[in-house]
Structures are given as C-alpha cells and as structure tokens.
Amino acid sequence: MGKVLIGGDFALANSVNYIARFNRDGSLDTGFNRTGASARSAVNSIAVQADGKLLVATRFTIVRLSPDGSLDQSFNGAVGAGGEIRSVSAQANGKALIGGEFTSVNGVARTE
C-alpha cells in the first residue's frame, strides 16, 4: 500500500483530527474517511490486521475501521474500559490484544 497512518492528539488543516493517512509523496490522503468513531478522541495506538482493517485504540475504546477509514459496524470492540487503553496489537488469528491501565472492559473484570 505504501501509505502512512498517524494517530494522536492533534489537529491538522482541513478538519483532520486524531487520525490521518498520508500518500507516498507526503500529501494527505483525502480518500481516507476520518469520520468514524476513532476521529472523536485522541488515538493512542493503531494496528493493521492482515485483511487491511485497522484496530484503533482511543482513550477508553477500541474500534475497527475498514481500509478506507470507515467504521466497521460488525466489530464489537472494547467500550467502557475501566481505565485508559494505551495500546492495541493485531494477532495472526484475527484477535486483538489491548494493554493499558484498566481493570475491566465491557463490564468484565480483568483477571490476574
């Protein structure tokens, strides 16, 4: 693909907030849909799955975006984490691992 994804707590020209994709020449990829749920909060981590979908960790949620940046409604991600989610990793089996300072996710307590 040769494109670069960035996420964080930033705002660029053209109302680009929190997540953006750039073309090989460094220009903003205007075809990347940033209106998904991930664009509402600072992005802590992004992981690309084998199918090209993007796992995006924001402060208390994990969402999955399609390769074009649109929200993947079929993904039942982490919502309402009992603390901050700082990282996400895509596993070869299609599952996601998250790390951070949380004690529960979706109402389920973390086990030690």
Please check whether residue 18 is in contact with residue 8, taking contact to mean a CB–CB distance below 8 angstroms. yes
Question: Cβ neighbours of residue 32 under 8 Å, at least 6 residues apart?
Answer: 20, 21, 68, 69
Q: Tell me what the mean pLDDT of segment 18-41 comes to.
A: 79
Please give the mean pLDDT across all residues of the chain.
85
pLDDT in tens, 77-111: 767 788 889 999 999 998 889 999 988 888 888 77
Instruction: Please report, for the chain, the start and end positions of each structural domain, with discontinuous segments joined by +.
Output: 4-109
Q: Is the pLDDT of residue 61 over 90?
A: no
Tell me which fold the domain 4-109 belongs to: Thrombin, subunit H (2.40.10)
| From 7-16, 21-30, 82-91, the region with the lowest mean pLDDT | 7-16
What are 58's strand-pairing partners? 43
Strand order in the sheet with 43-48: 43-48, 54-58, 62-65
The pTM assigned to this predicted structure is 0.85
